[in-house]
Amino acid sequence: MGIMSFEEYIKEHLASFIAFELEKGYPIASIKNVLVRKGHDENLIDAAIDHLVKSGYVPRVRKNKPYKTLEKEIFENLVKSIADYIAIQIENGYNLDEIKKTLLDFGHSQDVIEEALAKIKGHRRIYEKHEVKSQKRRYQVFPFVLSFLILLIAIISISTGDVIYIIALGFLPCIISVVLVESIYNDIKNKYALLLIPVAVTLLFFLLVSSFKSDVFSHLASTNLMLLNLLIGVVAALLYIKK
């Protein structure tokens, strides 16, 4: 099951909000104009209005309020609707980076999203739940990958009879890659950039060992070993990204 469609969520929210503002006496054109300027999709606004019309909604018109008040209310409502959406997705176990990407893809600005996140951080239980899940999943990746490498090295050593430290040297690129990914994970915004680490480390390692003239280093410069290191390193990086 994927992340809840923000379009469906915001459409329902918009319909309720438009009805609420109509009750206050704001003209529909003013409401729509401000909603568009504050970042809402015009087609989605029209769909919400159409939904109200088809449902037979008739607002009880009151005295108009100042236009600036409407702008402020709509901005606050936009931030609240995004904050509510983020909270729901965190409760459902989704990663904050994935949620932010969904919102950015929908067209919301980084500033509005950060404003919504500030509201979420105010609800410590929800935000801490995300942080605990994120840290737990991340810490599960590191020991899993290292355990896999240790097991792989041991199996290859037993099956070939080669000295274990020589085999371990052959997997040094993916070991270094995993350590680097783990160490910089929190400092990098675009998590997909982590995929560059195993590529760069593997290429540099095999260029280096290829320059040495000895049986040990010529063995380490094997193309198959390079591809295996690259594969393991990329898979490990993907586990971090998708955690």
Chain-centroid distance of CA 128 in Å reads: 17
Residue 170 CA to residue 162 CA, distance in Å, equals 12
Element housing 31 (H / E): helix 28-37
pLDDT at 130: 47
What is the average pLDDT across 109-138? Answer: 62
- What's the whole-number mean pLDDT along residues 32-44? 77
pLDDT reported for residue 124? 47
Confidence band for 62, pLDDT divided at 50, 70 and 90: low
Residue, of 23 and 229, whose pLDDT is higher = 229
Contact in structure between 19 and 59 (CB atoms under 8 Å)? yes
Q: How far apart are CA 36 and CA 148, in angstroms?
A: 52
Q: What is the dihedral of CA 19, 21, 22, 25, to 10 degrees?
A: 160
Closest by CA to 14, choosing from 45, 55, 51, 50, is 45
User: Percent of the chain having pLDDT more than 90?
Assistant: 5
- What confidence tier does 100 reach under pLDDT thresholds 50, 70, 90? confident
pLDDT classification of 166: cutoffs 50, 70, 90: confident
To 10 degrees, what angle do helices 96-106 and 6-23 make?
A: 60
Q: Is the pLDDT of residue 73 over 50?
A: yes
Choose the most confident range, by mean pLDDT, from 8-17, 30-39, 62-71, 187-196. 187-196
Mean pLDDT, all residues of the chain: 76
What is the pLDDT at residue 197?
A: 93
Give the burial class of 47: count Cβ atoms within 10 A of its Cβ; 0-12 exposed, 13-18 middle, 19 or more buried: middle
84-88, 165-169, 212-216: the lowest-pLDDT one = 212-216
Q: The pTM is what?
A: 0.46
Query: Looking at this protein, which amino acid is placed at residue 56?
Result: G
3-class secondary-structure state, position 76:
helix
